[in-house]
Amino acid sequence: MTTASSGPHGKFQCTTLLFSNALLSGSSLRSIGIETQRNFCSEAYQNYQCKVMMGSFFPKKQDVFIPDDFLLKELFDMVSETIFVWYPPVTSPALSRANMNKIYSSIGVQSISKAVEKDESFRTTGASVRKVNQKSLISNNGLLRIVLAFLSDTSLGIIANERHRLVKYLLDLEILEIDAPITVSYKLTLSSGIILDLKATRLFHWEKDKTKLFLQRDKGGMKRKRDGGMKRKRYNIDYATNFADVIAKCLCSEMPDQIAPLAELIRLGCLLDFEEDTVNYLMKTKNLQLFPEDEEFLSSTKNVGKIEAGKTATVLY
């Protein structure tokens, strides 16, 4: 099967025929006025003629996707300009992107986030690693306060012992800086059998079963401190986003609907360098607080989790 060509018509409206088919098949599109339907179908037909003249065809609905994840869209745009649905100029509320997404979904077009296969498997064999002072990354009072305050939200109903168990995951982590790239693979299989296989780099990887947090070595992104630790440039949005995502996903693995809100809090705290005053203000803006039992738990962990840093070795596992 030949996919829609690139260029001024390639991204076209490669899905206008799908839209027309939806109208013809009697899909539930009554919210779109008759005149709008006529105009849209007329435009679709004219562009379809352009496609025929250019010797290409419209793709199947299995080969176009709704771009509900903009990071994935940016990634796959690098290898194909024709796998995402077309959106018309908004001349009517009926043709808004929200309505168009409903239309595409009604005829079986998948969202890119659901269609893509993600592989986060991670191997460290032969890589050079360096132990990092845990206090510089995890045993940070601001980070721990944010996590505990989030878990203390009464709407979540998490008892104190469970909150403290989750935070202890962080305190028990061994931090390893690695010189090998940390990658995530994304695979998208089209109806023709063509496979789009891409890789993206990440700064962190948490092996929860082994209580190890790996971070990719960044020679220019850190400043060494006299105590042998390091201070990342936390204003870097990539660093803050990657760090927040990996922590939230592991801590909230049994509460997937809470991953995004916790990640957002950690990301903000990271960008603010987890300074105490700013963290406390951030907690207030989110209507979060620490209970006495949580404050007591934090006080008991002040001298826990400090790891000797500075040694480099080759990983054999």
pLDDT of residue 144: 93
Domain map (residue ranges) of the chain? 16-115, 128-314
Condensed to tens digits (0 to 9), the pLDDT of residues 97-137 reads 888 898 889 888 999 999 999 988 877 776 788 888 777 77
Condensed to tens digits (0 to 9), the pLDDT of residues 56-96 reads 445 678 889 999 999 899 999 988 878 898 888 877 777 88
Distance of CA 256 to the CA centre of its chain: 13
Best mean pLDDT range from 43-57, 58-72, 257-271: 257-271
Identify the CA nearest to 119 among candidates 66, 183, 26. 183
Q: What is the pTM of this model?
A: 0.69
Structural tokens at position 258: 């809470």
pLDDT of residue 35: 52
Phi, psi of 244 (to 5 degrees): -65, -45
pLDDT of residue 81: 74
Phi, psi of 119 (to 5 degrees): -125, 115
Provide, rounded to the nearest whole percent, the portion of the chain with pLDDT above 70.
70
Condensed to tens digits (0 to 9), the pLDDT of residues 3-39 reads 333 343 444 444 444 554 443 333 444 444 545 555 5
Cα 49 to Cα 104: distance, rounded to the nearest angstrom: 22
Please, which residues bridge with residue 183 across strands?
201
- The overall average pLDDT reported for the chain is 76
Neighbours of 157 (CB within 10 A): 7
Cα 131 to Cα 112: distance, rounded to the nearest angstrom: 38
Residue type, 172: D
- Cβ 147 vs Cβ 251: under 8 Å: yes
pLDDT of residue 87: 85
Identify the CA nearest to 130 among candidates 316, 311, 314. 311
- For 273, the 3-state DSSP assignment is coil
CA atoms within 13 A on the CB side of 171: 19
Helical ranges in the chain per DSSP H: 16-24, 34-53, 70-76, 97-106, 112-115, 141-151, 160-171, 237-251, 259-271, 276-285, 292-300
Condensed to tens digits (0 to 9), the pLDDT of residues 194-225 reads 899 998 888 898 887 778 888 887 655 444 44
pLDDT of residue 67: 94
Cα 213 to Cα 242: distance, rounded to the nearest angstrom: 12
Structural tokens at position 219: 């020679």
